[in-house]
Amino acid sequence: MMTNMSERSPSQGAVIELKDVEKSFGATKVLTGVNLSIAKGETVVILGPSGSGKSTLLRTTNRLEPIDSGEIWYHGKPIPREGRELAAYRAEVGMVFQQFNLYPHKTAVQNITLAPVKRGKQKPEEARARALRLLADVNLSEHANKRPGALSGGQQQRVAIARAMAMDPEVILFDEPTSALDPEMIQEVVHVMKRLSADGMTMAVVTHEIGFARESADRIVFMDEGRIIEESDPESFFTNPRTERAQEFLGKIL
């Protein structure tokens, strides 16, 4: 059999793989030798102190930032750099942000239908019906025609998750989805994420919600100063962290 040099064999079951990824902003090295593989159906929780490179890791995976060296593969192929291919990749690998990033002048349902209709994935009526189902899934049926400004933070973030789901992504990357929320709204968003995880969605989640990590994570990745310094199952990580940095970090948040 001939082997195609540009299509290397991915690790068993890997959907996304980062290989020796390096990234600097000016003189600041933000990612150093990052290797990470995310398997189909897996929920990977990324922990680490502020500034350790967690957001940059997710942003480079979604190619919101280019990398300096190394490789990021999706199903064993380098992720696209630009154009239609990149847009198609982002439809497969969606992202949910701390600040929701909803369009302020559009209603909840319009926020959800915009991308699938624009990308020709669904016809408008079809997209609307699906958006209403997705809003029902996140318990927001009564709020379908409200603009983000009329919704609470927790409601806005659930719209953002429904919007990500509308593209039928294979993977969703969550960057601190509950960090901008008042405490009483955190659980309604965590509840939606727990359900997605239990339903088999492939997810990489940066979060300080330890309840979510303990219950839903298949694996914890701990970052410090741009490196992954620990990777283990949640039980081992929370009860018996190996590195001093992880022990110190858990001491502060637990």
Which among ligand ADP, Mg ion, none contacts residue 4 (Cβ within 5 to 8 A by kind)? none
Taking the least distance from each CB to Mg ion, the nearer of 53 and 169 is: 53
Alpha helices by DSSP H, listed for the chain, are 54-61, 83-92, 108-118, 124-137, 153-166, 183-198, 210-216, 234-239, 244-253
Smallest CA-to-CA distance from 178 within 217, 148, 211, 200 is with 211
Over the Cα atoms of the chain, what is R_g?
Answer: 18
- The minimum distance between CB 79 and ligand ADP, in angstroms, equals 18
- The minimum distance between CB 195 and ligand ADP, in angstroms, equals 25
CB 178 within 8 A of CB 207: yes
User: Which residues inside 54-73 make contact with ligand ADP, applying CB under 6 A?
Assistant: 54-56
Taking the least distance from each CB to Mg ion, the nearer of 55 and 202 is: 55
How far is 231 from 229, CA to CA, in rounded Å? Answer: 7
How far is 252 from 250, CA to CA, in rounded Å? Answer: 5
- The minimum distance between CB 73 and ligand ADP, in angstroms, equals 21
Which among ligand ADP, Mg ion, none contacts residue 107 (Cβ within 5 to 8 A by kind)? none
Taking the least distance from each CB to ligand ADP, the nearer of 163 and 227 is: 227
Q: What would the x/- binding string for ligand ADP be over residues 22 to 61, using CB under 6 A?
A: ---x--x-x-----------------x-xxxxxxx-----
Give, in order, the Cα–Cα distances in Å from 115 to each of 86, 128, 163, 165: 14, 12, 8, 11
How many residues lie near ligand ADP (CB under 6 A)? Answer: 11
Residues that bind ligand ADP (CB under 6 A): 25, 28, 30, 48, 50-56
